[in-house]
Amino acid sequence: MEKLNPYEFLEFIVTDEKIKSRKFLEKMDISSRHIRRACRENSIYVNGKRTFENVEVKKGDSVAIRFPDESLNALCQYKDIDICYEDYDLLIVNKEYNCVTHTAKDDSKDTLLNYLAGYFEKNNIKRKVRFVNRLDRDTSGLIIVAKNSYAHAKIMDEFSNNQVDKIYLAICRGDFKEKQGEIVKKISLCQDGIRREVDDDNGKYAKTKYQVLKDNKKLALVKLKLFTGRTHQIRVHLKSIGHPIIGDKLYNDSNEEQNLMNRQALHSYSLSFKLPRTGELKTFTAKLSDDMDMLNHEIS
């Protein structure tokens, strides 16, 4: 049997005694949309050979879908990227602060999308850049990039079903009375169309768990776990309990604390999820950026 390149093919080995190839792909949790497209493009392979029909397969056979080459969806720019993990399906990046993930314009420049397009082009990855999650411009940390539509859909489903553990680190106003707890407060959009606020009547459910790691009364390093993914959720929730994030110009009105950092001291530290192809549960972490690390060392 011809060995298939896992970058080009999504391959499964049949365990049923007898089954139709398309039915088998459904059993492997391939979406009907993906199967229909593979049928249209004649990109289904059995035992390494392209098949144009819904054939019967048996135990031990290989059934695979070939991923088509794609054109890049952004202008290529070249810059060193902090890559935490890479395989045939995924690229996980530690995004630096003061970097936009992407904009709505295809001709934008100096975004993470542009730098990833450059990385894809340089490494002959002939696919679109597909972001699974996003971060604010001034939030550093982990971003997941899918190299194919299958991986993108699988991990997006995990996010939608709250199956991804999302851990952040923040440096905020110190002197916590409770060293750990849960913040369950609804969040809605402010009238200015930019900021968010706690709104128990009209807001959407949001839940954040926090644990104080260090606290010198002035500053505190806090670990936060998100159970929902509302815009600005951590920033709004921490402000609501009297501990806004240092450097946060939207939600911290203390000039002194704003001047300690030239951006909000928030970092996406850890993501835990199942790899799309194998189902293996993996945890990925990203080191603090230099500016947050320096401020962190000031907390005794």
Assess contact for 288 and 266: CB atoms under 8 A: no
Judge whether 29 counts as a catalytic residue: no
Indicate the residue type of 35: I
- Spatial contact of 109 and 161, defined as CB atoms under 8 Å apart: no
* Structure token pair of residue 191: 């009238």
> Could you tell me if 21 and 51 are in contact, meaning their C-beta atoms sit under 8 angstroms apart?
yes
Say which of 87, 89, 107, 136 is annotated catalytic: 136
Rounded CA gap, 231 and 236, in Å?
A: 9
**DSSP conformational letter for 129:** -
Could you tell me if 77 and 270 are in contact, meaning their C-beta atoms sit under 8 angstroms apart? Answer: no
Dist. CA 61–CA 51, nearest whole Å:
13
Closest to 251 measured CA to CA, from 190, 169, 185? 190
Classified as helix, coil or strand, 23 is helix
With beta carbons less than 8 A apart as the criterion, state whether 9 and 64 touch: yes
Active site residues: 136
